[in-house]
Amino acid sequence: MAEAPETPRKRTAYIALGSNLGDRIGWIEKACNEMDARGIKVKRTSSLWETEPMYVLDQDRFVNGACEVETTMEPLELLDALQDIENKLGRKKVIDKGPRNIDLDILLYDNLQVNHERLTIPHIGIPEREFVLRPLAELIPDKPIDPNRPWRLTADYLDALPPSKTPLTTMTPLSSHHPPIQALNPSRKTHVMAILNMTPDSFSDGGQNLPLPLDSNTITPSTTTTNGTTTDSTTDPSTALHHTITTLLDAGASMIDIGGQSTAPGTPEVPLAEELARVIPAIRLIRTRFPTTTTTTTTTTSSRPVLISVDTYRAAVASAAIEAGADIVNDVSGGSMDPAMLATVARLGATVCLMHMRGTPATMAGLAEYPAAEGGLIGGIARELVQRVRAAEEAGVRRWRIVLDPGLGFAKVGRQNVDVLRHLDELRAWPGLQGLPWLVGSSRKSFVGRVTGVPTPKERIWGTAATVAAAVQGGADVVRVHDVKEMAQVVAMADAIWRY
């Protein structure tokens, strides 16, 4: 009786990723997708880091990262596959260490040492290259690089390097038509995300925006209010929405967050079909009126591309929204309420904002205990966000596609929200969360009303302004607001003070 063939052994390898031509992040993502398609499973990725060129200095800045892969290929076979991917993606090597659209190098392969004329493992350049060590240290800080020196870990090699003349920064892509967030760049500008609630029951502005029919271009005359200005609309919905978005952009917004399900405590969940009917027409109309590429001048289009975020915890809504033209998925549950969400985001290749929340919007208010023995408020939020990041990575979401939100008002009550703002810098520096960008949504929330004594949400502008300034000081990359004109001015001033 013939013996069954031996199952190929799965090995773990670490691959360096680099590009400095064209759509640098896009090339790296294509390379990762190619590896997955060839059975070289990308298990985890580092952040992507923008770095100055090394060796050949007269070239553009690089984007560098690293990934952990699982493979049954032997080292030279893996090398052949990676080089074939480079060739498929059009790499042409003109100058050694010169410009290239994609660069894939084997850094480590299990604990093996390889000395071959084509391949050396561990990669000989690891100890001297910050652009390799920094992403590698995100993945395996406590792993030795050299099997002959097991006491010296990846983090030790990184710590031994002299300070960089130009500090490295991470890069989080938002879309093909906007520059990425550079969360460690001290002079970066803060994004203002405008809230566009397509719901009748939001605590602050429910029913304010037009209902848009899925398959119709006409509606009955109505009015819409944006940032305190009421406009009569007797035309088609695309004209009304165009006016609304133009007003938000003119006021200083760079992102529009569209939601069709209220997450206020005690609000019933709407059916999937209803949420889709609320948000998808709006996204389609915005993308039609504000295309991602410059168009010829007409009366119906604009050359001002808009970043569109969809505020949903349903995978089906996220998928339909991205297909309709949205760029970002903003999930208040951090991917926990719909088991399909994280895998869906991974498949879509979209950037996702993972917010900290416990339970559901209906139960979260009773889940606001953060025992000191478990790290207290900040430690609890950080630990649980690390778990959500890990879950996203396990589902296939690239680390460079993750944004975090501390979840003000979600499983946090009263002054707990003030404490989060006070300690946002600690969250940014927490092990496992470093280098990721942060979104903060404090606008008009009840804790602002309690502190200021203002019961009406729409009148909490001054209190919200203070929280927005605190968010910028603490390192937020995006602030989510209702009152765009006022908060954009606060952000401009706060950036001038703390971002330089």
Distance of CA 322 to the CA centre of its chain: 14
pLDDT of residue 444: 97
Task: Flag whether pLDDT at 66 surpasses 60.
Answer: yes
Instruction: Summarize pLDDT for 193-225 with one digit per residue, the tens.
Output: 999 999 875 544 544 544 444 433 322 333 444
Q: What is the mean pLDDT of residues 85-96?
A: 83
Query: What six digits make up the tokens of 111?
Result: 């604990």
pLDDT of residue 86: 96
DSSP letters of 319-366?
Answer: HHHHHHT--EEEETTTT-SSTTHHHHHHHHT-EEEEE---S-TTTGGG
Place of tokens 């050396």: 120
Q: Compute the distance between CA of residue 309 and CA of residue 103 in angstroms, rounded to an integer.
A: 32
For 85-121, letters b (16+ CB in 10 Å) and e give bbeebebeeeeeeebbbbbbbbbbbeeeebeeeeeeb
Q: Compute the distance between CA of residue 286 and CA of residue 71 in angstroms, rounded to an integer.
A: 43
Task: Flag whether pLDDT at 297 surpasses 60.
Answer: no
| β-bridge pairing 351-355 and 328-331 | parallel
Under 8 Å between Cβ of 353 and 328: yes
User: pLDDT class for 60, splitting at 50, 70, 90?
Assistant: confident
Task: Flag whether pLDDT at 157 surpasses 50.
Answer: yes
CATH topology for the 181-215+236-294+303-499 domain:
TIM Barrel (3.20.20)
Question: Where exactly does CATH 3.20.20.20 map onto the chain?
Answer: 181-215+236-294+303-499
Task: Flag whether pLDDT at 230 surpasses 70.
Answer: no
Q: Compute the distance between CA of residue 29 and CA of residue 171 in angstroms, rounded to an integer.
A: 13
Helix (H, G, I), strand (E, B) or coil at 55: coil
**Model's pTM, two decimal places?**
0.90
Q: Which CATH class is domain 11-166?
A: alpha beta
Count CB-CB contacts under 10 A for residue 480: 26
| Closest to 71 in 3D by CA, of 12, 133, 154, 116 | 12
Q: Compute the distance between CA of residue 360 and CA of residue 264 in angstroms, rounded to an integer.
A: 10
- Catalytic-role residue among 278, 314, 398, 480: 480
pLDDT of residue 291: 84
Lowest mean pLDDT among 163-172, 254-263, 392-401, 484-493: 163-172
Q: Is 100 a catalytic residue?
A: no
Length of the chain: 500
Element (H, E) at 68: strand 62-71
pLDDT of residue 223: 42
Under 8 Å between Cβ of 469 and 495: no
Question: Where exactly does CATH 3.30.70.560 map onto the chain?
Answer: 11-166
Query: What six digits make up the tokens of 59?
Result: 């070239």
Q: Would you tell me the crossing angle of helices 237-251 and 484-498 to the nearest 10 degrees? A: 30
Q: Is 165 a catalytic residue?
A: no
Phi, psi of 365 (to 5 degrees): -60, -25
Instruction: Summarize pLDDT for 335-379 with one digit per residue, the tens.
Output: 999 999 999 999 999 999 999 999 998 899 899 999 999 999 999
- Catalytic-role residue among 24, 445, 460, 485: 445
**Mean pLDDT, rounded, of the chain:** 89
Q: What is the mean pLDDT of residues 264-271?
A: 82
Helix (H, G, I), strand (E, B) or coil at 421: helix
Q: Compute the distance between CA of residue 439 and CA of residue 434 in angstroms, rounded to an integer.
A: 14
Q: How far is CA 394 from CA 18, 107, 124, 391, 397, in A?
A: 23, 22, 30, 5, 7
Query: What six digits make up the tokens of 119?
Result: 């391949």
Lowest mean pLDDT among 30-34, 222-226, 303-307: 222-226
The fraction of the chain above a pLDDT of 90, given in percent, is 75
Task: Flag whether pLDDT at 394 surpasses 70.
Answer: yes
Q: Which residues make beta-bridge pairs with 45? A: 67
Contacts of 499 (CB under 8 A, 6+ apart): 186, 187, 188, 189, 190, 472
pLDDT of residue 32: 98
Task: Flag whether pLDDT at 268 surpasses 70.
Answer: yes
